[in-house]
């Protein structure tokens, strides 16, 4: 692979419910930051795959795209991982970007690794930070060993260098009135043809308020202990006009079945005004997801729980007695 042929930063821009998702717009912003750190100032390209895409050009332009590639065809009207991944791989083969960023969403986690396999490169998943070294190397920072350490991932011999990032970890940029050049590219994708049939499209609205837009989040960990305890957190969150979030053990135990409410490196990053955590030990793969929170209040029996190291207020005690008292007070 002649890596000298590869120039530019591509961002796969995902569409959901007729809009470019925030995660993609954040990655366009991050791409402009990376661009400023690279000596040859690579072009930032937004790659949009779907049907009837013209209305999306201006929004990606004003969020940092210098160039927009539209893969616009009726076959992409509904999401299919085989078609979308193959199309993204063909865009990469044609335009040869040095870096390709994908949102760490349900779709991105299918499309990204599949594309990487197709173009014979690697992909660092769930990055918490992206950097450019002084020598121009692209560094993808990922949590390792259960989030206890951060590892630098390099891809020196293959291109594009691919990374996925969860929403909320990097910031949007806005360039009012910016106009990007637009190019249409329609590769001949084969996919799996009629071996895949879309039977139904289900709009899942289980989560009324997303964690990323909530001002107050009540979060529970393994220390909650059981479903009855979790139900108390749900009640408290309702009384506070907030929503509930969780750590992985709470989800694994089945106390909540909403994957979208897991906070951390394999979940979502949040930026509420208030985060209130109960029974959470404070593993790094969770705490990296709450770095953007305004005020962090934690309740734990263990005075030495790591969660207290990142908290503004710590309460050492039985979480259930405190929640019961809060519910009784707020119910009045």
Tens of pLDDT, residues 282-308: 888 888 888 889 999 999 999 999 999
pLDDT score at 94: 96
DSSP for 43-70 reads: PEEEEEEESS-GGGHHHHHHTT-SEEEE
Least confident of 28-42, 101-115, 154-168, 190-204: 190-204
pLDDT at 204 over 80: no
Radius of gyration of the chain (CA): 22
Sign of CA dihedral 213, 280, 240, 231: positive
Tell which wins on pLDDT, 89 or 210.
89
pLDDT at 207 over 70: no
Question: How far, in Å, CA of 307 to CA of 131, rounded?
Answer: 27
Give the CATH number of domain 3-195; options: 2.40.110.10, 3.40.50.10490, 3.40.50.620, 3.40.50.300.
Answer: 3.40.50.620
- Neighbouring CB atoms inside 10 A of 90's CB total 19
Question: How far, in Å, CA of 277 to CA of 99, rounded?
Answer: 37
pLDDT digits (tens, 9 = 90+) for 247-277: 988 888 888 866 678 888 777 888 899 999 9
Question: How far, in Å, CA of 97 to CA of 78, rounded?
Answer: 26
Mean pLDDT of 181-205: 87
pLDDT at 206 over 60: no
CA distances from 23 to 43, 76, 80, 220, 233 (A): 20, 20, 20, 25, 28
User: For 85-128, what is the HEC assignment?
Assistant: HHHHHHHHHHHCCCEEEEECCCCHHHHHHHHHHHHCCCEEEEEC
pLDDT score at 287: 87
Question: How far, in Å, CA of 66 to CA of 180, rounded?
Answer: 5
pLDDT score at 169: 82
pLDDT score at 209: 56
pLDDT score at 254: 85
Domain with CATH 3.40.50.1220 in the chain: 207-331
Beta partners for residue 13, in sequence order: 48
Least confident of 75-79, 147-151, 198-202: 147-151
Q: Are 262 and 286 in contact (CB under 8 A)?
A: no
pLDDT at 205 over 70: no
Q: Which of these, 263, 279, 289, lies nearest to 316 by C-alpha position?
A: 279
Tell which wins on pLDDT, 263 or 209.
263
pTM of the model as a whole: 0.76
Mean pLDDT of 87-97: 96
Query: Which residue matches tokens 């350490």?
Result: 149
Q: In sequence order, what E strands does the chain have?
A: 9-13, 15-16, 19-20, 44-50, 67-72, 99-103, 123-127, 129-132, 138-144, 149-153, 161-165, 181-184, 216-220, 243-246, 274-278, 295-300, 313-316
CA distances from 125 to 106, 145, 164, 315 (A): 12, 14, 5, 35
Least confident of 159-163, 177-181, 256-260, 313-317: 256-260
Q: Which CATH architecture has domain 207-331?
A: 3-Layer(aba) Sandwich (3.40)
Question: How far, in Å, CA of 118 to CA of 113, rounded?
Answer: 9
Mean pLDDT of 191-205: 82
Task: Return the structure tokens found at 20.
Answer: 């470019």
């Amino acid at each position: 692979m002649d890596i000298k042929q590869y120039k530019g930063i591509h961002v796969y821009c995902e569409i959901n419910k007729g809009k470019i998702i925030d995660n993609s717009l954040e990655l366009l912003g991050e791409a402009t930051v990376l661009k400023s750190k690279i000596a040859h100032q690579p072009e930032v390209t937004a790659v949009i795959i779907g049907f009837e895409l013209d209305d999306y050009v201006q929004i990606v332009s004003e969020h940092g795209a210098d160039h927009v590639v539209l893969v616009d065809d009726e076959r992409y009207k509904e999401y299919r991982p085989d078609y979308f991944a193959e199309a993204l791989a063909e865009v990469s083969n044609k335009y040869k970007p040095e870096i390709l960023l994908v949102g760490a969403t349900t779709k991105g986690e299918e499309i990204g690794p599949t594309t990487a396999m197709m173009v014979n490169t690697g992909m660092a998943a769930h990055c918490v930070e992206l950097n450019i070294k002084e020598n121009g190397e692209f560094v993808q920072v990922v949590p390792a060993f259960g989030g206890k350490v951060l590892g630098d991932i390099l891809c020196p011999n293959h291109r594009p260098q691919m990374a996925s990032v969860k929403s909320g970890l990097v910031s949007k940029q806005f360039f009012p009135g910016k106009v990007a050049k637009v190019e249409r590219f329609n590769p001949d994708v084969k996919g799996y043809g009629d071996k895949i049939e879309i039977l139904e499209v289900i709009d899942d609205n289980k989560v009324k308020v997303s964690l990323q837009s909530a001002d107050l989040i009540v979060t529970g960990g393994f220390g909650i202990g059981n479903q009855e305890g979790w139900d108390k957190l749900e009640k408290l969150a309702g009384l506070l006009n907030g929503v509930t979030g969780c750590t992985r053990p709470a989800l694994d135990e089945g106390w909540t079945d909403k994957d979208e409410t897991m906070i951390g490196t394999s979940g979502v990053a949040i930026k509420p005004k208030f985060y209130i955590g109960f029974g959470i030990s404070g593993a790094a793969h969770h705490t990296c997801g709450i770095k953007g929170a305004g005020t962090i209040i934690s309740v734990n029996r263990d005075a030495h729980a790591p969660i207290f190291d990142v908290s503004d207020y710590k309460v050492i005690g039985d979480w259930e007695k405190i929640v019961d008292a809060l519910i009784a007070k707020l119910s009045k």
